[in-house]
Structure 1
């Protein structure tokens, strides 16, 4: 057998061997901190179906919900090493590595979820994603969101003065910490999975949370006071390990990007469409005291103070304020 015949034989054998076929297939593990019932998890499951369709069955997804793989910080480290393929993480976690992303958490940047969606789909927001590979070792495909942030407490909050000294659970992120510290509150960072019990035993006094999570976790059972503040939008960023991304062909990268983008968009649309209905669900909860339409004036000079401090760290605060003013 000459060399040419031998080479052809090897290629033909490789094409039919199970190992060669498996090399063309990929099961993507996706880490999340949210529970299976959450919209993010539902869209990750749907993303698996989309990937399978676009790749002729070569690609699939396995989700790891409820922080099974650790905190968001730990999952980000796993993305860097390639131990985790993908993750849907809050942008709050990324602010420690990309200060410009802090601008997405600007207090009262938007007053409704429709404008939040416009911001996350803007060129300005997408520019920030370009920093992801160098800063995190992961590729930022797109943003999604959960609902607007509201405040819930064990005891009624009738004025900004009532926030002083309150132990507020926050998502660990510098822009959020400084906002609550400026109000005199005591920020208490903790994983989502610990919030319910911490409210029940009095370890924390209050939380900043979206309607979806309030309903899913039943936080109103131990925090029966709700201020409808809409004080922050709460974005998510869909990440792919840089190592995993580099190992894909351009064609497969395009397939993955299309599938992820499709379900980022679907997630945003679902939250926009469902926000009002979720609020109506909470209004029907017996024993839940709600103060509606709590505006920026409730917080006095805190928002201006926050803007002044964070505008020194990133020009995206002013850029996003200008963008929203143009809506």
Structure 2
């Protein structure tokens, strides 16, 4: 009888061990399944986006639209923190932050980026586009997509092109409707080679200056004028320190929409799709907003007392324009292709 009881106890103990093993295995499988879900990109993501413009600028509003789309499409898993007005430093710092992965997205001006890759000067050819709507038609062309592909070599993903209003000339004083008017003037320009070439060819001195410093530069006479859109003229309040705005529309000013390649590659395919779709919707919105706000901001600038001038003809600038087209076309087949495609559209 005692021997029988021992056998019963042993069997109970073995059964307990077996049950424990089954429970542990099941829990382990559940944990493994959770890991698979997490690795499939179902976890939360907290992104950062940076740009140089003011909180009231259309690019910041575009970033807010992107934030909204991300949260909606991911059921709240994706959050976005926006840093406008160069809060994270100048554009050179923004690029390095995206390459390292400490910042995820940036709206970086093509004028700055062209200092890193000369091919991007294609967007900045003077008088290539009649207005921002005309420039926006180039966004999905083969040449424009080839320019986006260049960013992969720098640890970045080129996602799209975001426009602000075409750039014209805002001056402390003076109507700038002919090349002669530019001689001896100091013009704040973004620092791109082609924009510098344009002003130098007109006899002006292009002055590089961070956007947040331009207001004071105009106010103190460090510069005589600024290369500006109606949007930036209003959002940066340049009308308070300038008198005349000549609508040359000489440059279709835009930004490359960039993402950290390290961050993009870390996302699951599904989450990559969410990011891409959300950004596409946001940029569509932003470019339409820029077109709309150009008209609205010109009216607001008039109400603020800024004198608006529209030249009847731009023929006086033709020689300088063709000279610059030839110089950059000779340097780059892609730039030549871009110019020809823009002219034919």
Report if the CA contact (8 A) 1:93-1:173 is conserved. yes
Within the alignment, does 1:305 sit opposite 2:323 as a pair? yes
Which residue pairs with 1:194 in the alignment? 213
Within the alignment, does 1:29 sit opposite 2:42 as a pair? no
Q: CA deviation at 1:182?
A: 1.5
TM-score, with length taken from structure 1: 0.91
| Structure 2 unmatched runs, 5+ | 1-16
Within the alignment, does 1:138 sit opposite 2:170 as a pair? no
Comparing both structures, which one devotes a greater share of its residues to helix? 2
Which residue pairs with 2:308 in the alignment? 290
Matches within 5 A, 1:65-214: 65-134=84-153, 136-158=154-176, 159-214=178-233
Q: CA deviation at 1:296?
A: 3.2
Report if the CA contact (8 A) 2:122-2:339 is conserved. no
Change (3 A) 1:177 1:258: same
Which residue pairs with 1:252 in the alignment? 271
Equivalents in 2 of 1:298, 1:155: separation in Å?
Answer: 21
Report if the CA contact (8 A) 1:29-1:84 is conserved. yes
Change (3 A) 1:160 1:23: same
Which residue pairs with 2:298 in the alignment? 279
Within the alignment, does 1:315 sit opposite 2:333 as a pair? yes
How many pairs does the alignment contain? Answer: 323
Q: CA deviation at 1:183?
A: 1.4
Within the alignment, does 1:57 sit opposite 2:76 as a pair? yes
Q: CA deviation at 1:253?
A: 0.8
SS of the residue aligned with 1:36?
coil
Equivalents in 1 of 2:318, 2:143: separation in Å?
Answer: 28
Deviations 1:264-285 (CA, angstroms, capped at 9, x unpaired): 1111111123322322332333
Q: CA deviation at 1:66?
A: 0.5
Structure having the higher Rg: 2
TM-score, with length taken from structure 2: 0.87
| Structure 1 unmatched runs, 5+ | none
Report if the CA contact (8 A) 1:152-1:223 is conserved. yes
Q: CA deviation at 1:10?
A: 3.2
